[in-house]
Structure 1
Amino acid sequence: MDKFVIRVPKVSKDSSTQQASSSTQETSIDNSVNRLSKKSLFELSDLIVDPGLRKKITEYDSNQRDDIRRAYLQNGPCQPRKHNFPQKNIGGRLGRFNPDWFDIYGNWMEYSISKDAAFCLSCYLFKPDIGKQSGGDVFVTTGFTAWNKRERFDGHVGECDSVHNQALKNYRIKLLASMYCTRFLLRQGLPFRGHDESNDSSNRGNFIELLNFLANHNEVIKDVVVGRIQKNLKLTSPDIQKDIVNVAATETSNIIINDIGDDYFAILVDESRDVPGKEQMAVVLRYVDKKGFITERLLGIVHVTKTTSLSLKAALENLLLKYGLSLSRVRGQGYDGASNMRGEFNGLKIAKNHGDIALFFNLMSNIVNVVGASCKRRDFVREKQAAKIAQALDNGEIQSGRGLNQETNLKRAGDTRWGSHYASIINLINMYSTVVDALEIIEDEGSISEKRAEARVLMDYLYSFEFSFSLHLMKNILGITNDLSLLLQRKDQDIVNAMKQIKSISWQDSVRGPIKILISAVPRAVYLTESQQSRLKAQQITNGHRFRVEIFNQVVDMQLQEMNSRFTEVNSMLLICIACLNPDDSFSAFNKESLINLAKFYPSEFSNVDILALDMQLENYIVDMRSNEEFSKLKGIGDLARKLVETKRNTVYPLVFLLLKFTLILPVATASVERAFSAMKYIKNRLRNRMGNEWLNDSMITYIEKDVFDIVTDDSIMQRFQYMTNRREHL
């Protein structure tokens, strides 16, 4: 545990320690512990390695004991294994300490060179001073020297209620209580720290308050955590909290990494700024799990100081190296917002390049800003809209029911999420009359002349035919892209189904139907600006031509160009080959030659010999699939992969299943990365804007991957917590 306490080198255990005196040992440990944190509250020279020379733990100040225990646990039991243990006469026979006992009782047994006696580290650190049992204080103060009575070691450990076990039990209860509180706060994404965590503070933070609540409703925890031994070891410090969170995140990541194993995967990368403006890069892994399910998991959040392609590449390689993942196993890469890595394409924004559409979105933003500029205006809009809904319900124009007619307000569109533009347009259409009323009030009663003038301009635009045309045009276009976006955001979406959805969209037919009514209704004279009127007059074109050709056709063509430009000839050929794996209609799309061509896209995995083997394997595969009733009603290659694993046919047709796996891990969209950034803004919010990078990463992994975090056992967390270094004491 690097941040729990700085590592202290072990006391030398070679033969040179045979004649080491107590003063030499004190000097050695004094030099070692001087490298400990300067924040320590006790005199480091008092930390004695030899258990026979230590003073009682209770003789230290109660405020220092936590640091002392952490230091001793970090250093581990004193076990000079290579010491030349002296012999002595015991009942007429020679006997001496057996170093093999360190292996049997290694988690607690210590040996004192100065006293030639055995001691117990657990009892020294945690045993309450409540009398004698199994030798009383012999394993703490005087030391055990009856080497011919090894059974006394087992007697010292004793039954479950022995002093030795009770000391460890108390420590375990405290650690479990802290871990339960940590689990709850991580799953909810809640902050840990309070403004002041002292006992007399009224704002001690969620962790301390939750721990006290847990203790007040559990007598065992109450006796141990908030009872008379609370001051000895509370396990509630910020360092402890961060260590437990780090352990939880590590165990969660290890489950994900073990699930991938040595298999192939794809990486999805995006970058975004957090609340204080630090650039964060999120990395998500897409792979096929052992049951054949398409899975996307967050690998980590990395702070990048530069967003150049070399910087992002270095950060990505370091993150993969941290978890033992090799770039040679990557078979797909998706970079959404990381434009430096992606190349020429960067978001579906091409329609906004049209001048009239850019003006439309700009004025839409101004409408939201003016109407929602103050709490008073927003309250007026809500009340006005609620009154109109109530009137419509009374007139029977709309139906009431669960989930219907919820309170709505104007939404501000984001720059990167085009789904927000669609929601903003829908809300404006739904609240059109309310917005007009609000602008009229601003124009008549506004206290600032500039705002009154702006409201007048916006009202004129809202009444214009050009606004109505652009509004309904973009509603239909963005409605199509929004439906497609929602489909692609499914974690289990495969590339074949995604392409089917894209091909099923007929932009011209889908948009032209609702819009051509508006085009046919274009009057000879519509509200246009003076510059627009002069341009139409100079070019001698009609209003109908302008709205049909210069706006509608151009915008639709831009959207089509954007979609088509994302698929090169090689990509199109790859997708055609992938489609041959589709099991719909009894594998009607199956084509052996295309699947062999697909295998040639992966020369590292399919050698010439493998290609020949794949040819014969495909013959047997398609006969088996079409003759088996279990595979007759599958929908999509995702279902096919799961069924092959379920029926063990993935081992019968390994080359076919490998092809299937490559098609599944091809990234369709980086929706999981976007979800990670949404969670990041929740965890690292305005009040928690000073979170460190490691703390943020650990919190993100456990919060986003809750289903994996839930299967992490308490024992695994506690064991890793204690073994964050090689010399951590066992429970």
Structure 2
Amino acid sequence: MSKFKTIDTFFKRKDQENEDASTITTPILEGSSNFITSSSSLNSSKRPRLLPNQLDVFRLERDPGMRPMIWKFPPNKRDEIRRAYIKVGPNQPILDNYPFSGDKSHRRFQASWFKLFPSWLEYSIEDDAIYCFPCFLFAKEPSINTGSNAFIENGFRNWKKVNSGKECALLNHIGKEDMMKAKVQATELKFLGSYNERVKQNVLENAPKNAKYTSNDVQKEILHILATKVRNSIREEIGDAKFCIIVDEARDESKKEQMAIVLRFVTLDGFVKERFFDLVHVTDTCATTLKKELISVLSHYNLQVENIRGKGYDGASNMRGEWNGLQALFLKDSPQAYYVHCFAHRLQLALVAASREVLQIHEFFTQLNSIVTIVSASSKRHDQLQEAQAIENANLVAQNELETGKGANQISTLQRAGDTRWSSHFNSICSLVKMFTATNIVLNNIIEDGTTYAQRGEAYGVSKILLSFEFVFTLHLMKEIMGITNVLCQALQQQSQDILNAMHIVSTSKLLLQQLRDGGWCNFFANVKDFCEKHEIEVPNMSAQYVFGRGRSRQPSVTVEHHYRIDVFLATIDSQIQELNSRFNEQTIELLTLSCALDPKDNFKSFNIEEISKLAEKFYPLDFPSNELNILKSQLQHYQHDIPNHLKGIGTISELCNKL
């Protein structure tokens, strides 16, 4: 039986081969790790690297400057050589003094660097250079790039680039970002372990063998497995039921287009569920690409397109287009997959479209924002605005032009318009109309007392705009239009929406806008004229020729009245009506109006057998053939009589589904 080999026997030199095997010693080798010697033991001249045939697994050279490169060993011996080196780890000799470099920097290697990088850093006494232990073990071929071989074959000895902050060569070699990510991941795992004992027993230092779970690839694979399990669970919940899809696309931080998919369905137990299903990267946002990726996800989980009964997208043309949009492409495959968009968002888009289509309206909101910004730029100007407003209110009360009472005539301020809520634009317009005189006073104060010429110049510019007929005309026009649509805007933004009431407000909003267009010009212009006379603003001669542009860009001659009545007043109202008709089309309104017949609120007050039958016959003919429609009417009659006995106190369709 052969004697048990110690680690030292793997590093015997050739001159020890013939020693007596019975007297095994532990020699301190020149290339062994973690020994202490003086700088005098360093060789003055570098020896050439050994050849692979001079070594085997029982006689390995530890010094990284002397050992052969791993790719020079025979392929059938490399794994055995690697295992032998891995057993003893990186070569890290501790010396009393390391030699200084020969350049002007006069620096040298520091043993403390071993503590900073204990798992990979190696030092060669022969070369007075450092190497990377894993790079040596797993390098395949020498690189043409000299810098890439520095830590593998040539050795790195430019000490001034070590510990040089962000440009530290050692940190750059392992990757600073990877190092930081590893620290963050370790911290996260420790945090999770503090909440869950089972996690704590299987991560970091408690993990079995090398299963640290800190690798990006491993973590992504775990997340992929979990996501697949969640999606399979959602698929089981849906079963064979009909479902709706909600899709939106956006660009993430890495500038990639992502498509989010949400599924809405009713479970077998009658619960309405809405589940985030997937996030898919798309190459572009055209309708055909979105449809292809969406169908790919649905088909992967065996969700049939024919079972889609509703779709919700944003208002972009690639989503809602009637001819080539995503909703149109899906209607070809599933005629009962009706498109319904968020109504509050629809109204927002409709009103924004008006400001984009009519240039004067677009310019007006830019000017309005400038006025509010300048007047509200500091607390001093804010105080001046409120003081001017208080004086104006007192004068109006003295002239019996302003009523008094509890809570009336409170001092307010100009409101800034927000991009996400169109009602804030209406509030901003109303506040400026109310504080028009006070705003003008503050602007005059800035013109006279501004600390810099820039402040005085800006105030002078917006003051001219404020007192122009064009601005006042547009101010009152948008106040009139948005006063009509503001009621609808508020109704659609309520947390609990009354769909039937909202549909009625949509219809009345269209009607009021049409009435304003057909017969509201005279009264509107009279109000604008009175406002201008009150604030001493010059009203142009409406019969005069309107001049816009110069030279070749000059527009055809029209009267001033034609410009303001046709090009601004009617064009703005027409754009509003057109957008409302487009986004609140008759099919969608009828679908939702008929659906309200199922609303159980107020003890099924809206229940209507004829409307429910019409809903099934007109919008879902594939789900209700003609023979089933007759049966449906009879069942609804029985259902109507059972309501008082079995379905009391139900307020929502979701509760009704659960009860049934």
Partner of residue 578, structure 1? 595
Q: Judging changes above 3 Å, is the alpha-carbon distance between structure 1 residues 45 and 246 closer, same or farther for their aligned structure 2 residues?
A: farther
Give the residue type in structure 2 aligned to 1:286: R
User: C-alpha separation between the residues in 2 aligned to 1:246 and 1:427?
Assistant: 53
SS class of match (2:296): helix
* Contact residue 270 and residue 338 of structure 1 kept, 8 A: no
User: C-alpha separation between the residues in 2 aligned to 1:595 and 1:223?
Assistant: 59
* Contact residue 248 and residue 313 of structure 2 kept, 8 A: yes
Partner of residue 361, structure 2? 357
Q: Does 1:324 align with 2:305?
A: no
By how many angstroms is 1:614 displaced? 0.8
Partner of residue 459, structure 1? 463
1:217-616 correspondence to structure 2 within 5 Å: 232-275=210-253, 277-289=255-267, 292=270, 294-343=272-321, 347-348=349-350, 349-352=352-355, 353-364=357-368, 371=374, 380-381=377-378, 384-385=381-382, 410=416, 413=419, 418=422, 421=425, 437=442, 441=446, 455-464=459-468, 466-468=470-472, 470-471=474-475, 473-474=477-478, 477-478=481-482, 481=485, 484-485=488-489, 488=492, 495-496=499-500, 498-503=502-507, 508=512, 518-519=527-528, 521-523=530-532, 527=537, 534-535=544-545, 555-556=572-573, 558-568=575-585, 570-571=587-588, 573-583=590-600, 586-600=603-617, 601-616=619-634
Q: Judging changes above 3 Å, is the alpha-carbon distance between structure 1 residues 443 and 197 closer, same or farther for their aligned structure 2 residues?
A: farther
By how many angstroms is 1:555 displaced? 4.1
By how many angstroms is 1:338 displaced? 3.6
Higher RCO (C-alpha 8 Å, min separation 6): 1
* Contact residue 294 and residue 492 of structure 1 kept, 8 A: no
User: C-alpha separation between the residues in 2 aligned to 1:261 and 1:429?
Assistant: 58
RMSD across aligned C-alpha pairs, in angstroms?
5.7
SS class of match (2:247): strand
Q: Judging changes above 3 Å, is the alpha-carbon distance between structure 1 residues 351 and 230 closer, same or farther for their aligned structure 2 residues?
A: same
Q: Judging changes above 3 Å, is the alpha-carbon distance between structure 1 residues 314 and 222 closer, same or farther for their aligned structure 2 residues?
A: closer
Q: Judging changes above 3 Å, is the alpha-carbon distance between structure 1 residues 367 and 294 closer, same or farther for their aligned structure 2 residues?
A: farther
* Contact residue 258 and residue 282 of structure 2 kept, 8 A: yes
Give the residue type in structure 2 aligned to 1:615: K
By how many angstroms is 1:611 displaced? 1.5
1:613-632 correspondence to structure 2 within 5 Å: 613-625=631-643, 627-628=644-645, 630-631=647-648
User: C-alpha separation between the residues in 2 aligned to 1:296 and 1:44?
Assistant: 57
Aligned pair count reads 444
* Contact residue 508 and residue 556 of structure 1 kept, 8 A: no
* Contact residue 423 and residue 486 of structure 2 kept, 8 A: yes
Q: Judging changes above 3 Å, is the alpha-carbon distance between structure 1 residues 549 and 327 closer, same or farther for their aligned structure 2 residues?
A: same
Gaps spanning 5+ residues in structure 1: where? 1-42, 49-53, 63-193, 372-376, 649-731
Partner of residue 642, structure 1? 655
After superposition, give the CA deviation of every residue in 1:558-616 in whole Å (9 maximum; x if it has no partner).
Answer: 43443234455544554453343344565454443332222123222112232222121
* Contact residue 476 and residue 528 of structure 2 kept, 8 A: no
SS class of match (1:336): coil
User: C-alpha separation between the residues in 2 aligned to 1:482 and 1:56?
Assistant: 79
* Contact residue 446 and residue 459 of structure 2 kept, 8 A: no
By how many angstroms is 1:435 displaced? 9.8
By how many angstroms is 1:264 displaced? 1.3
Give the residue type in structure 2 aligned to 1:599: A
After superposition, give the CA deviation of every residue in 1:426-460 in whole Å (9 maximum; x if it has no partner).
Answer: 787899867985796589768787x8655533222
After superposition, give the CA deviation of every residue in 1:267-293 in whole Å (9 maximum; x if it has no partner).
Answer: 233333344544333333333355655
User: C-alpha separation between the residues in 1 aligned to 2:542 and 2:294?
Assistant: 51
Question: Identity of paired residues, percent?
Answer: 34
By how many angstroms is 1:197 displaced? 5.6
By how many angstroms is 1:623 displaced? 1.4
User: C-alpha separation between the residues in 2 aligned to 1:563 and 1:242?
Assistant: 46
After superposition, give the CA deviation of every residue in 1:600-654 in whole Å (9 maximum; x if it has no partner).
Answer: 23222112232222121111111112x33743x655xxx14413522x3xxxxxx
By how many angstroms is 1:360 displaced? 0.9
User: C-alpha separation between the residues in 1 aligned to 2:248 and 2:654?
Assistant: 28
TM-score, normalised with respect to structure 1: 0.47
SS class of match (1:306): coil
Q: Judging changes above 3 Å, is the alpha-carbon distance between structure 1 residues 621 and 214 closer, same or farther for their aligned structure 2 residues?
A: closer
By how many angstroms is 1:385 displaced? 3.7
* Contact residue 272 and residue 280 of structure 1 kept, 8 A: yes
By how many angstroms is 1:405 displaced? 12
Give the residue type in structure 1 aligned to 2:367: L
After superposition, give the CA deviation of every residue in 1:316-349 in whole Å (9 maximum; x if it has no partner).
Answer: 2123224432211111223323413422598414
By how many angstroms is 1:226 displaced? 6.1
By how many angstroms is 1:412 displaced? 5.9
Q: Judging changes above 3 Å, is the alpha-carbon distance between structure 1 residues 286 and 405 closer, same or farther for their aligned structure 2 residues?
A: farther
Q: Judging changes above 3 Å, is the alpha-carbon distance between structure 1 residues 332 and 218 closer, same or farther for their aligned structure 2 residues?
A: closer
TM-score, normalised with respect to structure 2: 0.51
* Contact residue 293 and residue 492 of structure 1 kept, 8 A: no
User: C-alpha separation between the residues in 2 aligned to 1:562 and 1:464?
Assistant: 29
**Bigger radius of gyration among the two:** 2
Q: Judging changes above 3 Å, is the alpha-carbon distance between structure 1 residues 213 and 304 closer, same or farther for their aligned structure 2 residues?
A: closer
Q: Judging changes above 3 Å, is the alpha-carbon distance between structure 1 residues 628 and 553 closer, same or farther for their aligned structure 2 residues?
A: farther
User: C-alpha separation between the residues in 2 aligned to 1:221 and 1:642?
Assistant: 39
Partner of residue 689, structure 1? none
* Contact residue 415 and residue 428 of structure 2 kept, 8 A: no
Give the residue type in structure 2 aligned to 1:467: F
Q: Judging changes above 3 Å, is the alpha-carbon distance between structure 1 residues 389 and 362 closer, same or farther for their aligned structure 2 residues?
A: closer
Q: Judging changes above 3 Å, is the alpha-carbon distance between structure 1 residues 391 and 594 closer, same or farther for their aligned structure 2 residues?
A: closer
After superposition, give the CA deviation of every residue in 1:82-126 in whole Å (9 maximum; x if it has no partner).
Answer: xxxxxxxxxxxxxxxxxxxxxxxxxxxxxxxxxxxxxxxxxxxxx
User: C-alpha separation between the residues in 1 aligned to 2:471 and 2:195?
Assistant: 62
